Structures are given as C-alpha cells and as structure tokens.
Structure 1
C-alpha cells in the first residue's frame, strides 16, 4: 500500500468515532473518498505516517510521559488552506489527537471565523488565492495578539521561514511532513500559548495583589499619621495647660504659620514640617521649673538663661524621632533673629531655617495680640506695625512683606477659628485629624473662610 493510501486509511479510520468534533461545512467522509486518488499524485503525500495505526495514541502517551502542560480541555485549532484535500486531511489528523478543528478555505474566511469564534491556534498555508499567509499572519498579530500561528508551505525557502518567524509566527512547517512532526509542532505552539496565558494571569493577579497591599499600606500610613497628629496636638495641649497664661498659643501660632506659609507659596512638604515645628516649638519648656515658667514678674538674668535653654531641650527631645527630625530644627531655631543677635546659635539671615523665619513672625503676632503677665493684648494693627519695624533685624524682610499683604481681619478670623473663641474650640483638632497627611494643611485656611478672597494677596 502506498504512503498516501496509508495516510488516507489512518484519517478515515480515526475520524469515524468522533465525527462531530470537527466543525466544518463540507462532508468530510465524502471529500476524503473523492480525494483519495489525488493523494497519490507525483508530488507525494502531505502526511507521511510509517505507523498510521495507533500513531496518534502513541504520540499522546509520549507527550503525557514528558509532562505536557496542554490543558485537558480540548484546544480549538483553525486550519486554513485553499486545497480542500489537504485541509481535510490535516483537520482529521488533528481531530484524532483530541483537538477541536475548524476549517477555512481562504484568508478572508479565516478572518471572519476568528472574529466570530475563539481559537487556540491557527495553522495556515503560505500561498492562497486571496493573499499569502503573511497577510493573515499580520492581521492576527494586529487583532489577536498572543494567538499562535503556524505557517505551512511546500516551498523550501529558508528566507521565507525566517521572515515568518520575524513577523510573529511561532513555527514553520514544510510539506510533506509526518504525523510526529505535525503533532510536536502543534504541541509546542499550544504549550507556548499556555505559558503566555499563565504569565498574563500571573501578572494580572500580581497587579491586583499589589493594589490591595498598596491600599492596605496607605490605610496603615494614614492611620499612623493620624496617630502622630493626635500625639502632636496632645503635646501642644499639655504645654498650653502647663502655662495657663499662654493657653491656645500653640494652636494659634500653628494656624498663623500655615497662613503665612501659604502666602509665601511654600511647598506642601515644608508646610508639613512648619506645622509640626510650630505646634511643638515650646516642648522644651517641659524641662523648665514651674517657679520660672509661671513667675508673674520679670525674670532675672540667671532665670532667663534657664528659660532660653528650652530651645535646645526641645530639639534634643524631637531630633531622635524620625518623623519629627526636620521639625526639630524649627524648635531649635525659633528664637534666632535675622540680624544674628538671637539664640541659641546666633544664626544670621538665610542660615536660619525658613520655617523658623516664618514662625518668628507668627509667634510675635500672637505674643502681641494675647494677654501676657507683662502686658495686655494689643490690636492686630499694632502688631503689624511692630513686626514691620523689626524687618531686617528681628525678621526676614521677605516674610514681613508677605505678612503685611494679609489683612488684619484675616488674622483675627483665624485666631477665632483656631482656638474656639467663636464657639468652636475643636475645629482645628478636627481639621488636623481628617487630613491624610500634613501636606494638606496648606488648605486649612481656605477651609475656614467663607469669603474666597479673604486670603487674596494684593
């Protein structure tokens, strides 16, 4: 018996038990009988099978023994060839190996079927009446990326094979080929597709897990930040309660500092540090004896030296806390003067941290407009004049200029809102606790004024 007849008998015998698995419009049995004689032409057989009976079974068993990762669900393969005899023969061989098969006689028909149905592999001839296999390959790459394509051709042109691989084909078969070659090519292509699908699923799951863990981390960070903010506010309250004459001072200077930083267009990160430093600027007074801290009369020179030590004491407390390390510089420098006559390091000009230069104006503003043991509160207009007189000596002229452009009404309103003189003492605390981080404090002023022009800089 000729090789072609053996191949035809192989296809006919293995096709009968599972006829329904091959989805095609023409009658497979009739077409195979009609083309039996054609397969013995001079061109030789398309499929060479030296052991047709049981070849499919032995190949499948060999594949299982090697641990094939092709899923148990039947993969669907589209066979595209304008020669019906070849199309039917390849389709029947694939069917007997357990694959679902669709048949297309042209590239255009294949495109319609790919648009309509789902396939795991395309097996296409190189030369067809409505265009070569490259046209279909390019279309699949553009419209179904990831769908493997195996090119089949009778032309033994190595350049054409290389070109097809460069254009995205996963393999290239030369006619005639035997069953084992076809089967191994199909198996490799499907395993490659499975690996791609697994990689995509892994990437998708990894991204999903990353989003979940990122959200969890964000919630944890926000919760930690709120804990930090609550701790800062509690410390500020404790300091104010210890010195009844300056009750509410920490909150007021914090609010003033934020407003002034906003006018200076300071970055959100710097505002965050400034707010922390302003709220805790007097934390070092915890180490100052009550006899000095609460003394109603003027301090002696010796007592003044002890009082001035609160800057260094406060710095030493905060600098070892990572999230307050930057703020500790403001605590250390908040009594420095622009002309270098301040303490404790006698810094001059831009060597003083910007936050400390801003805070110096805010601190003086609150000191002048609040009752103290040694003077009664003055108006915001008087405080403005006093601060302007200190420009270039006690204060940074740039900061004083920005301060002068904010109306006294704004400062008065901010004082009332920050300490509750208008009836809402907890407003500032609520604003702090509901912000995701300190960078949002730059919006604090805007949140507390009904007039959007209240903070406009002329």
Structure 2
C-alpha cells in the first residue's frame, strides 16, 4: 500500500480525466478525509493486534503533552497540527515488529530496544506517504539527541518542533508505564529532563514541559 501511495505522490492521479471539473477545495476536503480514514485504519489494526499494550493510549498522551508544551511556547496552529499528527502516527510502525518482541515484559536488551526504535522508520514512511514530509521528519528523528539534530542543519522551525516532540515522547513514556519500562517518579522525571537539557533535549522544550505539566 505504501508503494502505491508513493507512486501517487510522484506521478499524480491516473490520466483519464479523473478530477476534471472538480473544485480544488472540494478535492482537498476529500483528500483530508481519506488521510483521516487511513489513520483510523492503522489505529484499528494496532488495537486489534495488541490491545493490551495501549499503543494508541501512548500516542494520545504524547499528542496531549506535545500540545501543552507547544501552547506554552506560543507555537501556531499549523505547527501544532504537525505535532499532533506526528504524535498520533509515531507508533504505527509497531505493526512491523514481531509480536513476541513488543509483548516482552521487563527491560529490553540494547539490541531489542534498537529493533523497537527502528519502527520509527516505518511510521515515518506512513506519514510521508499519507500526510506531509514535515510530519515524517519529526517521527524519524524522535530518538535523536538535540545536539545531533542541530548538526544536521534542520530549519529553526523544524528543530523547535523536533525538540518538542522528543521531550513529549520521553515525558509520556516515563510518566505512564510501558510493558518494558516502569514509570518514573516526578522528581526522577524532572532530573532526567533537566540533566539532558541542551544535549539530549531542547532546553526550551524542557522548561516548557516542566512549567506546563
């Protein structure tokens, strides 16, 4: 399905007059509806496969945390939409992992953790094909440190959003337990974020998170 969507992005619709005479605003409305249905379909697939893991609950929490951080930092509606969609989509790649890995209880080995984190590439492919490259950019960089992202030369706008998204994902992960990771206490969580501010995490996003949450 992803190959088909990429083909549509590169080559456009079939050349048989499809869409002739259609109002552009109406067509965009249909496309937006199609994207929403794609997201709904992936959510249902995740819930049906692994209902006990709460993957979509985690995605909703990341979206909530990112929204509060963004609001505290004065981020505009358009970029907040980018953040919210990235949060909702960032676990979709879990569908590509073997069930025994994502059902594993307790701490994962470093190699297993890398496999789990590798699902971000699949999630980013979904976002790039069905939504927007900027959404994919946030997802595929969700595990990378702030200093790494700065070296990569991201635009200042995307660097800010990537910083918010990373802090939101970490905050949600350590605040609500996951099968392979226990929740942290509030002081431990604050120390984790503050000690990494400026290196692992965007310091402005850390300050906003600790102030707004």
TM bin, normalised by shorter chain, reads 0.7 to 0.9
Q: Give 1:146's aligned residue.
A: none
2:64, 2:84 → 1: CA distance? 8
The match for 1:225 among 22, 32, 35 is: 32
Distance 1:302 1:362, change over 3 A: closer
The match for 1:286 among 83, 95, 99 is: 95
For 1:399-418, list aligned pairs within 5 A.
399-406=205-212, 408=213
2:176, 2:125 → 1: CA distance? 29
SS in 2 for 1:277: helix
For 1:144-163, list aligned pairs within 5 A.
none
Offset at 1:313?
A: 2.5
SS in 2 for 1:405: helix
Runs of 4+ in structure 1 off by over 6 angstroms are none
Q: How many residues align?
A: 187
**Residues 282 and 331, structure 1, Cα contact 8 Å, conserved in 2:** no
Q: Give 1:329's aligned residue.
A: 137
SS in 2 for 1:339: helix
Offset at 1:392?
A: 1.5
1:376, 1:302 → 2: CA distance? 19
1:257, 1:226 → 2: CA distance? 24
For 1:83-232, list aligned pairs within 5 A.
218=25, 220-232=27-39
Q: Give 1:313's aligned residue.
A: 122
Q: Give 2:189's aligned residue.
A: 383
SS in 2 for 1:377: coil
Offset at 1:381?
A: 5.5
Which ranges of structure 2 fall in alignment gaps of 5 or more residues? 1-20
Check if 1:271 corresponds to 2:80. yes
**Residues 339 and 394, structure 1, Cα contact 8 Å, conserved in 2:** yes
SS in 2 for 1:320: helix
Offset at 1:271?
A: 1.5
**Residues 329 and 353, structure 1, Cα contact 8 Å, conserved in 2:** no
Offset at 1:336?
A: 0.7
Which ranges of structure 1 fall in alignment gaps of 5 or more residues? 1-212, 341-346, 409-458
1:369, 1:302 → 2: CA distance? 24
1:257, 1:319 → 2: CA distance? 20
The match for 2:173 among 358, 367, 375 is: 367
Normalized per residue, the structure richer in helix is 2
Distance 1:244 1:353, change over 3 A: farther
Check if 1:252 corresponds to 2:58. no
**Residues 236 and 250, structure 1, Cα contact 8 Å, conserved in 2:** no
Structure possessing the higher relative contact order (Cα contacts under 8 Å, 6 or more residues apart): 2
1:383, 1:240 → 2: CA distance? 28
Distance 1:219 1:317, change over 3 A: closer
Q: Give 2:202's aligned residue.
A: 396
Offset at 1:316?
A: 2.9
Coordinate RMSD, CA, aligned: 2.9
Q: Which has the larger radius of gyration?
A: 1
2:73, 2:119 → 1: CA distance? 28
1:253, 1:336 → 2: CA distance? 16
**Residues 243 and 293, structure 1, Cα contact 8 Å, conserved in 2:** no
Distance 1:243 1:306, change over 3 A: farther
2:185, 2:76 → 1: CA distance? 30
User: 1:91-113 CA distances to partner (integer Å, 9 max, x unpaired)?
Assistant: xxxxxxxxxxxxxxxxxxxxxxx
